[in-house]
Amino acid sequence: MAEELKGTTTVGMVCSDGVVLATEQRATMGTLIAHKNTKKLFKIDSHIAMTTAGLVGDAQILTRYLSAEAELYRLKRDEEMSIEAAATLMANILSGRRYFPYWVQLIVGGHDNKGGHIFSLDAAGGSIPDDYVATGSGSPYIYGIMEDHYKKGMSMNEGTDLAIRALTAAMKRDAASGDGIVLAQITKKGYEELSEEDINKRKKKMGLN
C-alpha cells in the first residue's frame, strides 16, 4: 500500500547565505487522502537534505542509501561530501536501475565550502543544478510564483517567505497537496527545520492564513 502513495509538492532554492527546502505533507492514493503527515523532506547529513516526490517506498530506500553513503564518506575522508558529489552519487543510483526505475523526482540541496547548491534529479538519473526547482503534482503552481518573485542573491529570510507563499498557493489548487508545510534552512551553520509555529507566524504576517 505504501508504495502506491502519490501526490506531492516540493520546492528548493538557492539564497545568498544557503538554501531553503520545503514540502507539504499530504500523500494520496487516487482520490483518497491516505496520510496527512507524510515525511518528504529528509536530512541526509548536517549540510545536505533531500526532498522526495513519487512512490514513497522508492523515496525511503533512496534516502537511506544516500544517508549511508554520506556518513561513510565522512568517516573515510574526515570531511563532508560536497553537494554536487551527493547529487551525482544519487543520479548514478537512479540511472543504474533501467528496467524497473525508481519512480521519483528528487531535489538534493545544501551548503558546502563552495556555497549553497540545488540539484534536480529525475527517475532516469539526470542531475541538473539550478537556482530553484519544484517537483510533484503541485509544481506548476510553484513555478508560477517563483518565476514572478525569485531573485538571485535573495536572503534566507526572503527565500523562506517565498517558499511558504509558493507552497500555500500550490496547496490551494492541487488536491494532492496539503496538510501543512515542512521547511528547512541549510547554511554554513548546518541544517535547521523551522517550527510549525514559526511557519504560521510568517504566513500570518504575509496575510496567507
Q: Which residues are catalytic?
A: 8
Give the integer Cα–Cα distance in Å for 175 and 173. 6
Q: Starting at the earlier edge strand, list the strands of the sheet with 115-121.
A: 41-45, 48-54, 104-112, 115-121, 127-130
Cell digits of residue 103 = 519512480
Q: DSSP class of residue 6?
A: B
**Sign for the pseudo-dihedral over CA of 90, 92, 96, 97:** positive
Which secondary structure element, helix H or strand E, spans residue 166, and what is its range? helix 156-173
How far, in whole angstroms, is CA 87 from its chain's centroid?
Answer: 13
